């Protein structure tokens, strides 16, 4: 499935727009960075240096190519697995690591689990855990941007399992009715924790779920950066031209566990995993780059090494940050501290035992 | 000043806000062409057009979720939930998203949505057109909960809500949408949050109420005045933020407290009031705190006149509290 496959008869076949050749190495670098950060974070979690982690290995092509096709002005509404999107958007690695640690540099002020981040300056909205909630919000922001005359799209990310949630359906329906400039980007990684895709829905594809809402649905091979890029470019152009939303189903595979609390051997076979490992999106793009002479084995080795040392540097900087100030616990509930919170903060500060400070 | 019903006052408040600020818009089921099933949004579509008065599909999670997205972008959406009994499909968006956005983003994403919704019993609405769910929402950190009891407050508190920086659940006592009229200041009239209002001054018993129950309690208080019991009636208006000072000052003065609300008693908002009194004014009390509330049953259709606190029940509780040793 190299080409975007239309799921409805009316849907014109995507014009094959490939990622510009001059961009390809940049895309590859982002994918490698995502993989290196991901692997390092799994290690950090095992070592107890971060509390939890949600890996995204196997989804690099889908995430990086999608984000690559966007304008930096487009708003992103992520779920919790969008590291490749965040890095491609330009969010500095150190900031992300601060969040994973929950230190004083964390823009979320240590309030959220790892992977639940957002950065206003990057138009990357703060994720939450309940699946699907971001989907309707993305539609509202698209309506607001259109009302303000800003020519942007909103893009919301979610998984295969989330297509069963209320907000997926509400969001698609709303977007269809108001023709919102929103791209619904579903990464079908075949699993929702332990539930396989076929137990999630009888629908033949997830993209087909757009049909009833009047939203074109497109299936793409999410390990192919070109196919993903083409689908997103087309969806974006359609949205900006007033043609409304698109649902894109990028077929990928979650190579790792659902999270560091999950053991996938309980529910899926090594055979299945190995089949998909053979389709590793990073290896796939690497072959293309090797073939057209943009990359050599040696340059590739250097890239991995230099990326690893960059990650180490960022990590050292993040780990040197002081812990979160416990008194900030009471901030940002409201714009201003309410009398009740003021009182609770005072009583917290006056506790006889030392305030618990994370080390 | 103009003499208005409560629902007209809400409507004037919306007109006022939308005229003064192009970022204010309303969305909800039947709010446009139909002007809302209670006519709270009547006339808005004609003046402000479809882009600012949005008839939405029938999905409460969609309404609140879309409003959140608009607010993140910088608009000031006022979402209507047609009856608060149907707010539960949006509970996740309100509790997990709206109330937490500012906090979870470390202050990066304020999320200022106003949700207006008719609430409460007394209109023969049965189980699903009568509920008072304020406690669920008052329990949710990050959400303000406002309940006006008269037209002037309805307009003034609504305008404060629309110009506030935090998410607000604005509960409108539909039972008195038309039953209560009053003089309402014209123009940009605002009533601040966090300030209770004293409806009747008295020194024998403090009575705390909000919404439609203020009127029931006022009848009881007035009736008892003829018996020589002078109760003080305080309309809380703003549940979150709560005017604790007014609550405690009154209890310190009278030493007796009666709390009235139509929601069920168990874990109702009155429990919080009673707990605050116990924590901070226990030594002023001369009698146990008494709650007059709906019963801990679902809302019964044919028996609503017996389920809801009425004048007799409130008067009985005040009298007993006043006479307790
Ligand atoms: C509303 C809700 N229910 C349950 C969960 C617990 N949960 C977290 S992730 C997940 C599976 C999500 O699967 P999918 O949408 O395919 O995304 P993926 O994790 O595969 O990226 C579940 C059940 C949740 N976060 N939110
Ligand atoms: Mg999945």
pLDDT surpasses 70 at A233: yes
Domains of chain B: 2-184 (3.40.50.970), 197-323 (3.40.50.920)
Interface of B with A in 156-215 (CB under 8 A): 164-166, 194
Q: Contact B184/B12 with Cβ under 8 angstroms?
A: yes
Q: Contact A114/A100 with Cβ under 8 angstroms?
A: yes
Q: For residues A264, A269, A275 and A281, what is the CA-based torsion angle, rounded to 10 degrees?
A: 0
- Mean per-residue pLDDT for A103-109? 98
- The interface predicted TM-score (ipTM) is 0.95
Residue A48 class from Cβ within 10 Å (0-12 exposed, 13-18 middle, 19+ buried)? exposed
Domains of chain A: 7-319 (3.40.50.970), 325-359 (no CATH)
Q: Contact B171/B146 with Cβ under 8 angstroms?
A: yes
Average pLDDT value over all residues in chain B: 98
Share of chain A above pLDDT 90, in %: 92
Q: Contact A171/A93 with Cβ under 8 angstroms?
A: no
Q: Is A165 on the interface with B (CB under 8 A)?
A: no
Q: Which residue has the higher pLDDT, A12 or A280?
A: A280
For residue A58, the CA-to-ligand 1 centroid distance in Å is 17
Give the nearest chain B residue to A106 (CA atoms).
B106
Q: Contact B248/B280 with Cβ under 8 angstroms?
A: yes
Question: How far is Cα A174 from Cα A245, in angstroms, rounded to an integer?
Answer: 10
Distances (CA, A) of A275 to A252, A262, A272, A279, B287: 12, 21, 5, 7, 75
- Chains A & B: contacts with CB separation below 8 Å: 150
Q: Is A53 one of the annotated active-site residues of the chain?
A: no
- What's the pLDDT band for A358 if we cut at 50, 70, 90? very low
- Mean per-residue pLDDT for B300-323? 97
Beta bridge partners of B229: none
- Give chain B's end-to-end CA distance (angstroms, integer): 46
Q: Contact B112/B164 with Cβ under 8 angstroms?
A: yes
For residue B108, the chain A residues in CB contact (below 8 A) are: 107, 118-120, 126
Q: Contact B67/A137 with Cβ under 8 angstroms?
A: no
Peptide bond before residue B241 is cis, with ω within 30 degrees of 0: yes
pLDDT surpasses 70 at B137: yes
Q: Contact B315/B223 with Cβ under 8 angstroms?
A: yes
Q: Is B51 on the interface with A (CB under 8 A)?
A: yes
For residue A259, the CA-to-ligand 2 centroid distance in Å is 12
A305 three-class SS: helix
pLDDT digits (tens, 9 = 90+) for A20-50: 999 999 999 999 999 999 999 999 999 999 9
Q: B152: distance to nearest CA of chain A, Å?
A: 25
Beta bridge partners of B80: B28, B116
Average pLDDT value over all residues in chain A: 94
- Mean per-residue pLDDT for B118-137? 97
Question: How far is Cα B304 from Cα A180, in angstroms, rounded to an integer?
Answer: 44
pLDDT digits (tens, 9 = 90+) for B173-224: 999 999 999 999 999 999 999 999 999 999 999 999 999 999 999 999 999 9
Share of chain B above pLDDT 70, in %: 100
Q: Contact B224/B218 with Cβ under 8 angstroms?
A: no
pLDDT surpasses 80 at A97: yes
pLDDT surpasses 50 at A152: yes
Query: Nearest Cβ partner of A136 from B66, B144, B166?
Result: B66
Give the nearest chain B residue to A180 (CA atoms).
B66
pLDDT surpasses 80 at B242: yes
| Catalytic residue chosen out of the listed positions A18, A46, A267, A358 | A267
Share of chain B above pLDDT 90, in %: 100
Question: Residue A231 contacts by C-beta under 8 Å, 6 or more apart in sequence?
Answer: A4, A14, A218, A220, A246, A248, A250
- Mean per-residue pLDDT for A281-295? 97
Question: How far is Cα A117 from Cα A110, in angstroms, rounded to an integer?
Answer: 10
**Checking DSSP bridges between strand A191-192 and strand A195-196, what pairing results, if any?**
antiparallel
Question: How far is Cα A87 from Cα A64, in angstroms, rounded to an integer?
Answer: 8
Q: Using the structure block, give the residue that is written with the tokens 């409304």.
A: A244
Question: How far is Cα B223 from Cα B218, in angstroms, rounded to an integer?
Answer: 8
Question: How far is Cα B89 from Cα B83, in angstroms, rounded to an integer?
Answer: 12
Quick one: which of B320, B118, B128, B310 has its CA closest to B218? B310
Q: Is the dihedral of CA B115, B120, B125, B127 positive or negative?
A: positive
B237 three-class SS: coil
Q: Contact A259/A196 with Cβ under 8 angstroms?
A: no
- What's the pLDDT band for B325 if we cut at 50, 70, 90? confident
DSSP 8-state code for residue A49: S
Question: How far is Cα B100 from Cα B78, in angstroms, rounded to an integer?
Answer: 18
pLDDT surpasses 70 at A15: no
- What's the pLDDT band for A17 if we cut at 50, 70, 90? confident
Q: Is B273 on the interface with A (CB under 8 A)?
A: no
Q: Indicate yes or no: CB of B194 within 8 angstroms of CB of A338.
A: yes
- What's the pLDDT band for B107 if we cut at 50, 70, 90? very high
A195 three-class SS: strand
pLDDT surpasses 90 at A16: no
- What's the pLDDT band for B250 if we cut at 50, 70, 90? very high
Q: Per the structure block, which two tokens stand in for A162?
A: 């989330």
- Mean per-residue pLDDT for B267-295? 98
pLDDT surpasses 90 at B19: yes
DSSP sequence for B260-320: EEEEESTT-HHHHHHHHHHHHSGGG-SS--EEEEE-SSPPPSTTHHHHS--HHHHHHHHHH
Q: What is the pLDDT of residue A2?
A: 41
Q: What is the pLDDT of residue A7?
A: 45
For residue A261, the CA-to-ligand 2 centroid distance in Å is 16
Q: What is the pLDDT of residue A356?
A: 52
pLDDT surpasses 80 at A145: yes
């Amino acid at each position: 499935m190299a080409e975007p496959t239309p799921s409805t008869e009316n849907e014109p076949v995507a014009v094959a727009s490939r990622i510009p050749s001059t961009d390809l190495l940049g895309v590859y670098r982002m994918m490698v960075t995502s993989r290196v950060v991901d692997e390092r974070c799994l290690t950090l979690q095992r070592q107890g240096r971060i509390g939890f982690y949600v890996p995204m290995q196997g989804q690099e092509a889908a995430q990086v190519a999608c984000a690559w096709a966007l304008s930096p002005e487009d708003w992103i509404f992520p779920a919790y697995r969008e590291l490749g999107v965040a890095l491609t958007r330009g969010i500095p690695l150190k900031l992300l690591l601060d969040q994973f640690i929950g230190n004083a540099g964390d823009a979320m002020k240590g309030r959220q689990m790892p992977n639940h981040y957002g950065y206003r300056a990057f138009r990357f909205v703060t994720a939450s855990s309940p699946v699907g909630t971001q989907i309707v919000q993305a539609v509202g922001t698209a309506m607001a941007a259109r009302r303000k005359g800003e020519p942007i799209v909103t893009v919301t990310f979610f998984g295969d399992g989330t297509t069963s949630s209320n907000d997926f359906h509400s969001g698609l329906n709303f977007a269809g009715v108001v023709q919102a400039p929103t791209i619904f980007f579903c990464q079908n990684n075949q699993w929702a924790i332990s539930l396989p895709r076929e137990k999630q829905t009888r629908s033949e594809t997830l993209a087909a779920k757009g049909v009833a809402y009047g939203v074109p649905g497109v299936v793409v091979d999410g390990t192919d950066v070109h196919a993903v890029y083409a689908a997103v470019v087309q969806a974006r152009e359609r949205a900006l031209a007033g043609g409304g939303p698109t649902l894109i189903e990028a077929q990928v595979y979650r190579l790792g566990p659902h999270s560091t609390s999950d053991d996938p051997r309980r529910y899926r076979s090594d055979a299945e995993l190995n089949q998909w490992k053979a389709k590793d999106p990073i290896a796939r793009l690497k072959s293309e780059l090797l073939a057209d002479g943009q990359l050599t084995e040696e340059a590739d080795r250097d890239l991995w090494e230099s990326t690893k040392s960059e990650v180490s540097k960022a990590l050292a900087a993040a780990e040197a940050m002081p812990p979160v100030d416990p008194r900030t616990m009471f901030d940002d509930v409201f714009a201003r501290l309410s009398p009740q919170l003021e009182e609770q903060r005072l009583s917290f500060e006056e506790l006889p035992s030392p305030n618990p400070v994370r080390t | 000043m103009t003499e208005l019903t409560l629902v007209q006052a809400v409507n004037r408040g919306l007109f006022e806000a939308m005229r003064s600020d192009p970022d204010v818009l309303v969305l909800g089921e039947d709010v446009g062409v139909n002007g809302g099933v209670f006519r709270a949004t009547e006339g808005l579509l004609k003046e402000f057009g479809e882009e600012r008065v949005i008839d939405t599909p029938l999905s409460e999670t969609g309404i609140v979720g879309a409003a959140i997205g608009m607010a993140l972008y910088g608009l000031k959406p006022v979402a209507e939930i047609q009856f608060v009994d149907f707010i539960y499909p949006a509970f996740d968006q309100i509790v997990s998203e709206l109330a937490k956005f500012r906090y979870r983003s470390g202050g990066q994403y304020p999320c200022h949505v106003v949700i207006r919704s008719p609430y409460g019993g007394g209109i023969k609405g049965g189980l699903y057109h009568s509920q008072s769910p304020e406690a669920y929402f008052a329990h949710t950190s990050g959400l303000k909960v406002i309940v006006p009891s008269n037209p002037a407050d309805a307009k003034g508190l609504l305008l404060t809500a629309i110009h506030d920086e935090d998410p607000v659940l604005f509960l409108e006592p539909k039972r008195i949408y038309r039953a209560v009229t009053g003089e309402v200041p014209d123009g940009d009239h605002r009533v601040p949050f966090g300030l209770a209002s004293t409806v009747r001054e008295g020194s024998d018993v403090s009575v705390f109420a909000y919404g439609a129950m203020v009127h029931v309690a006022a009848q009881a208080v007035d009736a008892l005045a003829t018996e020589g019991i002078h109760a003080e009636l305080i309309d809380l208006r703003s549940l979150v933020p709560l005017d604790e000072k007014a609550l405690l000052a009154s209890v310190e003065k009278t030493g007796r407290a009666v709390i009235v609300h139509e929601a069920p008693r168990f874990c109702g908002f009155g429990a919080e009031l009673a707990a605050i009194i116990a924590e901070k004014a226990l030594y002023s009390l001369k009698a146990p705190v008494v709650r007059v509330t709906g019963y801990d049953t679902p809302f019964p259709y044919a028996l609503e006149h017996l389920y809801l606190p009425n004048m007799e029940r409130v008067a009985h509780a005040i009298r007993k509290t006043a006479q307790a040793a």
